[in-house]
Amino acid sequence: MGRTAARSATVLTVAAAMVSLGAAAPSHPKPLLKTPAKSPVAVGHGGAVASVDPDASAAGIDVLKRGGNAVDAAIATAAALGVTEPYSAGIGGGGFFVHYDARSRTVHTIDGRETAPRSAGPGLFQEKGQPIPFAEGQTSGLGVGTPGTPATWESALDSWGSKPLGELLKPAERLARDGFTVDATFRSQTEANRDRFADFPASAELFLPRGKLPVVGSVFKNPDLARTYKEIGREGTQALYRGDIATDIVRTVRKPPVGEGVTRKVRPGDLTARDLRTYDTIRRAPTKISYRGLDVYGMGPSSSGGTSVGEALNILERTDLADASKTQYLHRFIEASRIAFADRGRWVGDPAFENVPVKELLSQRFADSRGCLIKDNAVLTSPLAPGDPRRPAACSNKGKTAPTTFEGENTTHLTTADKWGNVVAYTLTIESTGGSGITVPDRGFLLNNELTDFSFAPANPAVHDPNLPGPSKRPRSSISPTIVLDEGRPVLALGSPGGATIITTVLQTLTGRLDRGLPLVEAIAAPRASQRNQTTTELEPGLWDSSLRAKLEKIGHRFRLNAEIGAATGIERLPDGRWLAAAEKVRRGGGSAMVVRPSGNP
């Protein structure tokens, strides 16, 4: 092992020894159902699951206990999240799946991103040459892409799974039929969508029965979704892409079922049965960089996560972040993020439509040509012009800028591992909190509004925008499921929701763990900053209220407050062979980390 790899391994070993299992779980009203205990960290043998929800994590753990592998557990967990986290994920959406195969010691990825209808063109979200209001794309059939989640499950199981889909859907089917305990996050997210849900009878009936918000501590049931899961389990995922479910999806998108007297302008979409019938996932090569002697794998385009996290890490490679002060660390982290976002805005889109220079974006040569822009006593101007990875010019800051376009911030991430050493990092989404707001009648799931991740119009008309809509095109994503290996063996796996903030959350968590020596659960819990090539950097309250803000402002940084950024989960392989699962302590009410056989302290 090289000196940098040995140092990173030492950091991980020492920091792992610091983890405490004594963190108090957030208090909740006494539930009407027996909900699994929630803890942000767990350690032991036999495999692990980390998600935002204890019912979902328990579904994955149950699969592992019955001999399933990490892929099986990931799908069972994801299906359960479609019940308990329906505003973040579900079979009406899509996602990106990263898998480490312990037998071959290789990493593979599945692009399960939603696609635009075959009829879509660059003006999909324009009217008379001008972009329509974002709200009219968000709450509409126009923003709905062909769902990719069920096809992702099928692709993953065909390649690496060991259990039939029908068996893996059973825990989620029971959860939907029998119900789960409503928590404060579910209620608040319902309240945030109250006006939208009320305009669609199927959404109102499911989420606002008798016009009322769900009560914290009560039981929420979704019998329609239970029946839908049962049908998919019996007939396979083609039930959603070719059968009656497909017919219901197309009808709902093309003629959104709004209530009587609704004044909201709800635009129809042009999704067809052919769009559903011809949808397929894509097995893509993962992105890969070397960082401190470790191999960091991520998701390639159509996601910008792997290229952006990778480029930023390459930039930070030249700085000793372990010995840097907190101010120096955050300054460098913010500036590396700014640069990576400037470059992703110009170069990253669906590779079926755009020539994305992935290899060049991830080259150390390009990172060095961009990293030399960073000064310790000054802040780069935003929006920053992109560099050219094909022809890197040292410290060049010329050219036209491509500002970051808006992305919805609600998604969910899960991480699993099994007793054989296989690992999955899987991020799935329906885009905005509540997706399109439209529930497919009698089916129990919300449709996505992922097409709003496209640029409604070029961010800068003078610069080529690789993220304009097109026929069957995948909108650019920031989803960043990441797996870190040391000489072919897993060290960490992690990811987060949060729209474009996913990239900065994963980057900050990685550097917090690998460089700053924080235990994984503390690296996840640390207050976050997010710079996305904008004039101001977002700060969570823990940084906004700290003395670090004033110190960074003296250098020239400008900030705005964001109450909550992301909701990460991760898994780490400890030096003694045990798995450590970690999730949020507070964000979204705290996450759920579980292992098959708990065993002592780290």
State pLDDT tens for residues 53-105.
999 999 999 999 999 999 999 999 999 999 999 999 999 999 999 999 999 99
> Do the domain assignments include residue 174?
yes
Tokens read off for 433:
């909190």
Q: For 433-456, what is each residue's pLDDT tens digit?
A: 999 999 999 999 999 999 999 999
Q: Phi first, then psi: give them for residue 231, nearest 5 degrees.
A: -65, -45
Tell me the average pLDDT across 215-219: 96
Sign of the torsion formed by the C-alpha atoms of 536, 537, 542 and 548 = negative
H/E element holding 598?
Answer: strand 592-598
Region 220-238 average pLDDT: 97
587 DSSP assignment:
G
Q: State the pLDDT at residue 377.
A: 94
Average pLDDT over residues 241-256: 97
Beta strands in 419-544 (DSSP E): 423-429, 482-486, 489-495, 529-530, 537-539
Is it the case that residue 177 has pLDDT exceeding 70?
yes
CB atoms within 10 A of CB 254: 15
Q: What is the per-residue pLDDT for 600?
A: 83
Residue 154 lies in a domain: yes
Instruction: Report pLDDT for 4.
Output: 38
- Angstrom distance (rounded) from CA 548 to CA 523: 17
Q: Please count the structural domains in the chain.
A: 1
Give domain status of residue 149, yes or no. Answer: yes
How many CB atoms neighbour CB 290 within 10 A? 16
Q: What percent of the chain has pLDDT over 90?
A: 89
Tell me, what's the pLDDT at 396?
Answer: 81
List Cα–Cα distances, 196 to 14, 120, 437, in angstroms.
49, 25, 6
* Cα–Cα distance measured from residue 123 to residue 8, given in angstroms and rounded to the nearest whole number: 48
pLDDT of residue 8: 42
Rg (CA), the chain: 22
pLDDT (mean) for 233-256: 97
Mean pLDDT on 191-209: 97
Q: Greater confidence, 12 or 59?
A: 59
Please state the length of the chain: 602
d(CA 15, CA 12): 5
Mean pLDDT of 171-189: 97
- The string of pLDDT tens digits covering residues 471-498 is 999 999 999 999 999 999 999 999 999 9
The beta-strand segments (E) located in 230-314 are 282-284, 287-291, 294-298
**298 strand-pairing partners:** 287
Name residue 571's amino acid. I
For residues 421 and 432, give the distance between their C-alpha atoms in angstroms, rounded to a whole number. Answer: 34
In angstroms, the CA 318 to CA 515 distance is 12
Q: What confidence category does residue 403 fall into, taking pLDDT thresholds of 50, 70 and 90? A: low
In a domain, 208, yes or no: yes
Quickly tell me which residue has 């789960």 as its tokens.
180
**Band of pLDDT at residue 408, cut at 50, 70 and 90:** low
Question: How far is it, in rounded angstroms, from Cα 405 to Cα 341?
Answer: 10
Contact 341, 503 (CB under 8 A): yes
Listed residue (330, 291, 297, 332) closest to 313, CA to CA? 291
| Structure-token pair, residue 80 | 């359960």
The CA-atom distances, in angstroms, between 164 and each of 97, 153, 448 are 18, 11, 26
Report the CATH number that the domain containing residue 241 is assigned in CATH.
3.60.20.40
pLDDT digits (tens, 9 = 90+) for 322-373: 999 999 999 999 999 999 999 999 999 999 999 999 999 999 999 999 999 9
Residue 396 in domain: no
In a domain, 524, yes or no: yes
pTM for this prediction: 0.93
- Token pair, residue 545, equals 């209220």
Q: How far apart are CA 266 and CA 321, in angstroms?
A: 49
Convert the pLDDT of each residue in 257-267 to its tens digit.
Answer: 999 999 999 99
Residue 22: predicted pLDDT: 34
Residue 409 binned pLDDT confidence (cut-offs 50, 70, 90) = low
d(CA 306, CA 413): 15
Asked if 370 contacts 396 with a C-beta cutoff of 8 angstroms, the reply is no
CA angle, 352 as apex, 449 and 306 as ends, to 5°? 70
Among candidate residues 555, 557, 556, 513, the one with its CA nearest the CA of residue 539: 557
d(CA 130, CA 598): 57
DSSP for 408-444?
---EEEEEEEETTS-EEEEEEE-SSTTTTS-BPTTT-
- Can you tell me whether residue 362 is helix, strand or coil? coil
Q: Which residues contact 569 (CB under 8 A, 6 or more apart)?
A: 50, 51, 52, 413, 414, 415, 494, 495, 496, 524, 581, 582, 583, 584, 591, 593
**Is 347 among the domain residues?**
no
Structural domain that includes position 204: 3-19+39-283+406-598
Catalytic residues: 411
Domain annotation covers residue 348: no
* pLDDT value of position 34: 76
β-bridge partners, 112: 95
Of 395 and 511, the one with more pLDDT: 511
pLDDT band of residue 399 (cuts 50, 70, 90) is confident
User: Which of 526, 503, 508, 481 lies closest to 407, judged by CA?
Assistant: 503
Separation of alpha carbons 443 and 227, rounded Å: 8
pLDDT tier at 32 (50, 70, 90 boundaries)?
very low
Name the average pLDDT for the chain.
93
Position 602 scores a pLDDT of: 66
